[in-house]
Amino acid sequence: MPYPAWLPFLLETPDLTHVSTPLELAQKEINLGLQALSAGIKGKVTCDPALPRDAYRIVKSEQTVQVHGGSCGVLYGTYEVLMALREERDFPEGLQTPQYPDRMVNCWDNMDGSIERGYAGKSLWFSGGRLQYDEQRILQLSRLLASVGINVICLNNVNVHEPAQDLIDLQLPDLSKLAALFRPFGIRLMISIDFSQPMRHDLSTADPLSHEVQAWWKNRVDLVYREIPDLYGFLVKADSEHRPGPFTYGRTHAEGANMLADALASHGGKLVWRCFVYNCTQDWRDRKTDRPCAAYDTYQPLDGQFRENVILQVKHGPFDFQVREPISPLLLSMQSTNLAMELQLAQEYTGQQIDLYTMVPMWKELFQVLPKDRLCAIAAVSNLGASDCFTGHPLALCNLFGYGKIAWNPSLASGDVVRSFVRLSYDFSQEDRESLTGCMLESRAIYEKYTANLGLCWMITPNQHYGPNPDGYEYQSWGTYHKADRNAVGIDRTGSGTGYTLQYPEALRELYANVASCPDELLLFFHRLPYTFVMRDGRTLMQRLYDDHFEGLARAEQLTKTLCALPFPERDRQEIQRRAALQVSNAREWCDIINTFFHRFSGIPDEMGRTIYD
Amino acid sequence: MPYPAWLPFLLETPDLTHVSTPLELAQKEINLGLQALSAGIKGKVTCDPALPRDAYRIVKSEQTVQVHGGSCGVLYGTYEVLMALREERDFPEGLQTPQYPDRMVNCWDNMDGSIERGYAGKSLWFSGGRLQYDEQRILQLSRLLASVGINVICLNNVNVHEPAQDLIDLQLPDLSKLAALFRPFGIRLMISIDFSQPMRHDLSTADPLSHEVQAWWKNRVDLVYREIPDLYGFLVKADSEHRPGPFTYGRTHAEGANMLADALASHGGKLVWRCFVYNCTQDWRDRKTDRPCAAYDTYQPLDGQFRENVILQVKHGPFDFQVREPISPLLLSMQSTNLAMELQLAQEYTGQQIDLYTMVPMWKELFQVLPKDRLCAIAAVSNLGASDCFTGHPLALCNLFGYGKIAWNPSLASGDVVRSFVRLSYDFSQEDRESLTGCMLESRAIYEKYTANLGLCWMITPNQHYGPNPDGYEYQSWGTYHKADRNAVGIDRTGSGTGYTLQYPEALRELYANVASCPDELLLFFHRLPYTFVMRDGRTLMQRLYDDHFEGLARAEQLTKTLCALPFPERDRQEIQRRAALQVSNAREWCDIINTFFHRFSGIPDEMGRTIYD
């Protein structure tokens, strides 16, 4: 059953015979779309080689709408026309260009068909150790991605498990066929590679300074580009969570990345290097090492040492996609290096596509502190899988949609993005649309309230990352502690503590380091405070912990009630209702367990006399 | 490489051609053994049909040692002769008979070759969904079992996973062949069955009162006994941890067990019914339900309702094989029911055959409160697997050896049993023997000190059951809580609490319910006490928690040092040393984490000023 998601008027996939460019595809799509929408106007698309690749301009006359665009922009403009018509809004005026030229999705698909941190079923393209897919579903997905301007997809897990090394080797011909499917949509492939791959081919080392290794990669890249001339490049997770990397050979990450970048350069390929290095075998007794410091400590000294075609891909926060983290100081400090910010659409710590969690408001907070031009690209870990709607929870599609929109234009308002998604996806009354939009816009705040408020992180069930387990990470090796005891909770990350705040530019450093100015939402991220600490609103820290959790649960109950009353099509209704029931029971567990956990420590009763289980 | 364990003089397995009875085997073994031991005497074995099956008498003249025995006793007497010669001790005088006629080992082997809670490698007899084994290893193992009088082996996991149902169906011919291998050793097979098995054969129900179901089982049992006429019987885990059972049909466990027992009766088969029923989906908020009460509550009212050939198999404690539990009150209360006590050789919660943990002293404590004649049989979950020495840790073999010895004669002293094992297994000096015996005899006390002293249970890592995780079970559904908070720890299980102590006969009830008389080792099992509680020795509860953990770690370090200095044969040395290093690091984690956990709650410093990490 096709699932065209936010393009419900495009029920059939286009016939790609004789179609190999976005222009050719756009010509088909505009006709298909205008017909399906009964728009009563004609469409015309033309490519203007003078325009930047992704740019477009929409010109409307009485009977016709014209899209002039760059080689990819022509297709983006086409989808924009169709979506604007569906939304009954005006076409955007003037030349439209994206904020970031490269808007990437990273899929963590393994070749056995599983997906690391996947919550939407099996892989859409891997099975049994090889590329294997339903072509129609790939076309459907490509159309969704292109409609919001996503133009790079990394197909395989950054943790490169066998036989994924073969993607740039024995399985290259198959990969090339899949690249051809994505190509008319303006989507280029990227492949995660194994830094030690030369050693699978009779080399005794993967040392980036070895001439033999350099030659091996050069030759390998040449072979790859012979099959896929427009490959975007390689993505690398090195020296991170037990992956191989240049540290083995006493080399820096600049040396490691540059070696690969040199091999890619003549083909115009990019080398995307993830900055996710930290000590994952930390002793919990060690209070000097503070994991949030790790990325900055490792990479900041290398600023300026990377090749032109290297992009450092930095997670948005210093930990790992928690509900609330301050922005990574590394993103604010590498003045002479190409940076991409990494977001995570997969709801690893944020409800696993069971709990409703719409991310656009969260990303908007990042752009409030991140100068837009700091990045040359943006990336997001995929929330996709082979479930009917691609994302398990039908409303999790909004995170894919919103990601594309925000990656194109970070200035868009959250409400506008979500409202567009709702309007496009469902034939609801104005009232129901606003109701659903409201649910989605407040969903992150609600999840935060019942799970990890005030910047508390890592109270989630280890490994699985769903549901509460307040002490679960407390004695483990991941560097993820809250150090709650009978008096206080949190870690002092200011200059008098671990020094993490010193990594920030002055304004943020002051903001965060000062208890009086630190935002409530990050208070326990930066500070260790007694339960009796009086917050800005006059309540004690303990009371705020209780209040927020009770409020989060109550609002989750209300949210799911509202959601379940909406007239979703049968297709989505069952999935949404089933998940809503699970979300409420998850919220109840979080609320009661976190409250009990802190009550056992503090002994302080709830001022409102609500039930805290003992 | 053969591993004859405590029978090191029996390097070769006997040739079983023309051997089908214990008598025939005994005639071979006595010659093989006396020759290997260069004993300089002749052996003679004769079967005396007038003697009880397992009984034997050893008569020695100058040149000859004679064994007169019952049909199996003749073999037991033979091994006793050989072991006494090896140990350079006298033969036992007079007629030797076992305390319990049925001495069983329960193997939790799955047919894919894995073993539930197995810490000694893969299954010795299952692989790829069928029976598949190295005949020599089966013979080696059978000889070990028979040498200590074990006479029943249940081959498959009580959690019957597919295709283990086929053991009494399609795979019956293969099972019969394996039964023939065990038969000369006096070992009878038992099979764990799936209570719902009739429903795999076109029946719509497994209701024990359905005539159709009764007829199905009768017919099935007849088919089984046609192939294996001396099968011991069936073992059943019903209505336990999501297994099917009579509760589905509103029937009692007496009705369920009796139906199967009736099918087995005409063949002399036994029906062994495990009493491990409790609510494994308990809400942690529920403080009324107390899991230790469950077995008694379920089974005590059924006393007297079971058939003659039903044996209720009751775990030795009310929980599940924790380091320290009081004896199960069910074992003290079923006056009109056949009972077997279930021990666990597999070191699930007791160090997983990494940490040294010799169980004989623990079992001896049980027999101090359990009248010997309360049981008709004794069972133990196996610690066996396909590792070289059968038990992963070579010294874990002592638990198998000791189990057989104690099952035959519960009056044996721990020291004598362990000393025998050491003497038989290793060619050590007297001093080294005593040193090893000492290590083994104190190993349980040491493990208890650094893991879960004073009767604290379930502070172990959930699911995996190795290493500390003090709050790991605290908010889960398994009914396993300690309820530690800033003031106190433990659960009041007396009449003023959950009422668990009321299940005991008066003397024990008083002993346990009274804080003044309750043994230290069980104090926090039965009572909730503040950290400031003053123990009999004058120390506070908090100080005892610290002291015991530091002492446990220090003694573990000393223990492993002593162990590593002993002149084990190369065969064992590496395994023992590798495990000793892991034990020390495990002990350190337990010590530091438990101390930190309680210090965070209590805020009470260690009086000795040792390091408690914050």
| Tens-digit pLDDT profile for residues A186-226 | 999 999 999 999 999 989 999 999 999 999 999 999 999 99
**pLDDT at site B14:** 86
**pLDDT at site B501:** 98
For residue A501, being part of any structural domain is answered with: no
Read off the pLDDT band of A591 (50, 70, 90): very high
For residue A516, being part of any structural domain is answered with: no
Average pLDDT over residues A519-540: 98
**pLDDT at site B411:** 96
Average pLDDT over residues B325-342: 97
Share of chain A above pLDDT 70, in %: 100
For residue B289, being part of any structural domain is answered with: yes
**pLDDT at site A2:** 77
Average pLDDT over residues A33-50: 94
DSSP state of A287: -
Probe site for chain A from B469, B475, B542 (most A CB atoms < 10 A): B475
**pLDDT at site B452:** 86
**pLDDT at site B267:** 98
For residue A443, being part of any structural domain is answered with: no
> Would you call B177 an interface residue with chain A, using a CB distance cutoff of 8 Å?
no
Candidates A475, A483, A589; nearest CB to B593: A475
Beta carbons within 8 Å of A441's beta carbon, 6+ residues apart: A358, A361, A414, A415, A418
**pLDDT at site B242:** 87
Domain identity same for B85 and B109: no
> Would you call A50 an interface residue with chain B, using a CB distance cutoff of 8 Å?
no
Domain count, chain A: 3
Domain identity same for B149 and B297: yes
**Helix, coil or strand: residue B68:** strand
- Cβ pair A603:B485 closer than 8 A: yes
Read off the pLDDT band of A452 (50, 70, 90): confident
Amino acid (one-letter) located at B50: A
For residue A213, being part of any structural domain is answered with: yes
Domain identity same for B171 and B65: no
**Crossing angle between the packed helical segments B414-425 and B73-87, to the nearest 10 degrees:** 80
- Cβ pair B600:A603 closer than 8 A: no
Candidates B285, B592, B601; nearest CB to A613: B285
> Would you call B610 an interface residue with chain A, using a CB distance cutoff of 8 Å?
no
CATH of the domain at A65: 3.30.379.10
> Would you call B485 an interface residue with chain A, using a CB distance cutoff of 8 Å?
yes
The answer to whether B49 touches B81, Cβ cutoff 8 Å, is: no
d(CA B305, CA B294): 19
Q: What pTM was estimated for this model as a whole?
A: 0.94
Q: Containing H/E element for B384?
A: none
> Would you call B285 an interface residue with chain A, using a CB distance cutoff of 8 Å?
yes
Domain identity same for A13 and A126: no
The answer to whether B503 touches B329, Cβ cutoff 8 Å, is: yes
**Helix, coil or strand: residue B187:** coil
Distance from the Cα of A595 to chain B's closest Cα (Å) equals 12
For residue A506, being part of any structural domain is answered with: no
DSSP state of A301: G
Token pair in block for residue A57: 């301009």
Strand-pairing partners, residue B189, are B153
- Cβ pair B596:A469 closer than 8 A: no
d(CA B257, CA A128): 45
The answer to whether B349 touches B321, Cβ cutoff 8 Å, is: yes
Read off the pLDDT band of A257 (50, 70, 90): very high
> Would you call A285 an interface residue with chain B, using a CB distance cutoff of 8 Å?
yes
Mean pLDDT of chain B: 97
Residues 578-597 of A with CB under 8 A from B: 589, 592-593, 596-597
Domain identity same for B304 and B158: yes
Domain identity same for A37 and A163: no
Share of chain B above pLDDT 70, in %: 100
Residue pointed to by tokens 């495009």: A10
- Cβ pair A486:B589 closer than 8 A: no
Domain identity same for B388 and B479: no
> Would you call A469 an interface residue with chain B, using a CB distance cutoff of 8 Å?
yes
- Cβ pair A287:B614 closer than 8 A: yes
- Cβ pair A285:B483 closer than 8 A: no
**pLDDT at site B92:** 97
Is the preceding omega at residue A163 within 30 degrees of 0, hence cis?
yes
> Does A348 qualify as catalytic in the annotation?
yes
Assembly ipTM: 0.92
DSSP string computed for A54-113: T-EEEEE-SSEEEEEE-TTHHHHHHHHHHHHHHHT-PPPPS-B--SSSEEEEEEEE-TTS
**Residue spans of beta strands (DSSP E) within A245-333:** 270-274, 310-315
d(CA B378, CA A71): 80
Probe site for chain B from A282, A284, A475, A483 (most B CB atoms < 10 A): A475
Neighbour tally for B135: CB within 10 Å: 12
**pLDDT at site B42:** 95
**pLDDT at site A446:** 98
- What b/e string do you get for B32-68 counting C-beta neighbours within 10 Å, with b at 16 or more? bbbebbebeeebebebbeebbbbbbbbeeeeeebbbb
**pLDDT at site A372:** 81
Average pLDDT over residues B95-124: 98
Q: Which of A70, A96, A122 is the last residue of a domain?
A: A96
Domain identity same for A138 and A88: no
Strand-pairing partners, residue B58, are B67
Probe site for chain B from A477, A486, A491 (most B CB atoms < 10 A): A486
Strand-pairing partners, residue B105, are B153, B380
**pLDDT at site B372:** 81
Cα-flanking dihedrals φ and ψ of residue A315, to 5°?
-60, 150
Q: Which of B40, B75, B96 is the last residue of a domain?
A: B96
CATH of the domain at A538: 3.90.1330.10
**pLDDT at site A241:** 86
Average pLDDT over residues B490-508: 97
Candidates A472, A485, A600; nearest CB to B485: A600
- Cβ pair B484:A614 closer than 8 A: no
Candidates B471, B592, B601; nearest CB to A285: B592
Give the model confidence (pLDDT) of B541-580 as tens digits. Answer: 999 999 999 999 999 999 999 999 999 999 999 999 999 9
d(CA A300, CA A590): 37
d(CA A233, CA A106): 12
- The number of C-beta contacts closer than 8 angstroms across A and B is 58
Domain identity same for B295 and B413: yes
d(CA B113, CA B107): 12
Beta carbons within 8 Å of A266's beta carbon, 6+ residues apart: none
Residue-range definition of the domain harbouring residue B27: 1-96
Average pLDDT over residues B34-44: 94
Candidates B472, B486, B589; nearest CB to A600: B486
Distance from the Cα of B485 to chain A's closest Cα (Å) equals 4
CATH of the domain at A399: 3.20.20.80
Residue pointed to by tokens 């030795």: B316
Give the model confidence (pLDDT) of B15-32 as tens digits. Answer: 998 999 999 999 999 999
Cα-flanking dihedrals φ and ψ of residue A293, to 5°?
-75, -15
**Residue spans of beta strands (DSSP E) within A310-464:** 310-315, 339-344, 377-381
Average pLDDT over residues B155-176: 97
Contact residues, chain B, for A483 at CB < 8 Å:
614
SS (H, E, C) A543-587: HHHHHHHHHHHHHHHHHHHHHHHCCCCHHHHHHHHHHHHHHHHHH
DSSP state of A336: T
Read off the pLDDT band of B333 (50, 70, 90): very high
**pLDDT at site A373:** 87
Contact residues, chain B, for A473 at CB < 8 Å:
none
SS (H, E, C) A62-75: CCEEEEEECCCHHH
Out of A102, A207, A320, A325, the active site residue is A320
DSSP state of A468: B
Just list the catalytic residues of B: 241, 320, 348
- Cβ pair B486:A596 closer than 8 A: no
Domain identity same for B82 and B180: no
Mean pLDDT of chain A: 97
Token pair in block for residue B4: 């004859």
Per mean pLDDT, which range of A547-551, B14-18, B43-47 is the poorest? B14-18
Distance from the Cα of B468 to chain A's closest Cα (Å) equals 9
> Would you call A326 an interface residue with chain B, using a CB distance cutoff of 8 Å?
no
- Cβ pair B603:A471 closer than 8 A: no
The residue in chain B having the minimum alpha-carbon distance to the alpha carbon of residue A283 is B589
d(CA A596, CA A610): 12
**Max CA separation in chain A (angstroms):** 73
Long-range contacts (CB closer than 8 Å, 24 or more residues apart) made by A491-496: A491/A290, A491/A528, A492/A526, A492/A527, A492/A528, A493/A290, A493/A292, A493/A525, A493/A526, A493/A527, A494/A526, A494/A527
> Would you call B600 an interface residue with chain A, using a CB distance cutoff of 8 Å?
yes
Domain identity same for B282 and B266: yes
Out of A207, A348, A355, A448, the active site residue is A348
Taking each continuous run of H as one helix and of E as one strand, the counts in chain A are: 15, 15
Q: Would you give the end-to-end CA distance of chain A in angstroms? A: 50
DSSP state of B63: S
Distance from the Cα of A598 to chain B's closest Cα (Å) equals 9
* Predicted confidence (pLDDT) at residue B241 exceeds the cutoff of 90: no
Residue pointed to by tokens 């230290």: B520
Token pair in block for residue B576: 């023992």
For residue A512, being part of any structural domain is answered with: no
For residue A521, being part of any structural domain is answered with: no
Average pLDDT over residues B231-250: 94
Token pair in block for residue B498: 């959950």
**pLDDT at site A186:** 98
Token pair in block for residue B359: 């169980």
Domain identity same for B408 and B485: no
